Amino acid sequence: IERGRGAESERTGPPSLSNTMQAGEPKGRGAAELGSACRSHLIHSLQDIAKRGGGADGSTRALILSGGVDTCAIAEAAKEAGIPFKCAITVLAGDPKEATDRPYASKIAELHGLEHHVVEITLDELMDQHLPFCVKTLKTFDGMQLRNSMVVSAALHKAKSLGIERVVTGDAAD
C-alpha cells in the first residue's frame, strides 16, 4: 500500500506540515499558507509514489476510493500532477443502501475518467474472507485496526485480481 502522505525518510520536498506554522502565530493567520503547503506536500508525495512504480501510464496503479475527503483530495492532486490511475476501487461493506459515500466515490471516478470497480460485501463475508488475513498480516488483535484494515484488504484483493501492482489510499490521512 502506498499511502498518500509518503514516507518521511524518503521525502525531499516541502517541509512537514507541523513545521509550517510558527509557534505563537495567531489563530487564523497563515491558514492560506498552511493550505498551500498541504496541497504541495500531497502532490509531492504522489509524485514520489509514482516514481516508485505503477507504470508511467498508470496501468498497474489504482486508487482505493472511499468517496471521503481524503481520497477525493488524492484524486484531484494526482490529476493536477499528471499521475494516472488505471482504475478506482470502492468497497461497500454491509447494506449498500446505507453507503452514504457511494455517490461521491462514483462521481469522483466519473470526473477523473477512472474505471470504477465497486466491491459489495456483507459484514459476515468481510469478516470470513478478510479477518484471518488481516490478523496474520498485521500480527494484531486490535479491534479498531482490524476493522479498518478489512475493507482495505478487500480492495487489495480486488486490485490483485485486476493486475494492479500498486494502490494509493487516503487511509489514515487524517
Alpha-carbon distance 162 to 154, whole Å?
Answer: 13
- State the pLDDT at residue 174: 57
Of 43, 44, 49, the residue nearest 12 (C-alpha): 44
For the chain, which domains are there? 2-6+29-169 (3.40.50.620)
Q: Cα separation of 110 and 75, whole Å?
A: 11
- Altogether, the residues listed in the chain come to a count of 174
Question: Residue 128 CA to chain centroid, in angstroms?
Answer: 24
C-alpha cell belonging to residue 145 = 485496526
pLDDT band with cut points at 50, 70 and 90 for residue 28: low
Q: Is the pLDDT of residue 4 over 50?
A: no
Gap between the Cα atoms of 19 and 22, Å rounded: 7
For 41-97, write each residue's pLDDT tens digit: 899 988 888 888 777 788 899 999 998 889 999 999 999 888 999 999 999 999 878
Percent pLDDT > 70 in the chain is 82
Mean pLDDT score of the chain, rounded to an integer?
84
Helix (H) or strand (E) holding 10: none
Quote the pLDDT of residue 1: 52
Is the per-residue pLDDT at 114 higher than 80? yes
Cα 171 to the chain's mean position, in Å?
5
**Residue 10 to residue 2: CA distance in whole angstroms:** 13
Q: How would you class 165 by CB atoms within 10 Å of its CB: exposed for 0-12, middle for 13-18, buried for 19 or more?
A: middle
Parallel/antiparallel/unpaired status of strands 2-3 and 115-121: unpaired
Give the dihedral sign, CA 84/160/171/97.
Answer: positive
| Residue 100, all three cell numbers | 452514504
Most confident of 26-35, 89-98, 133-142: 133-142
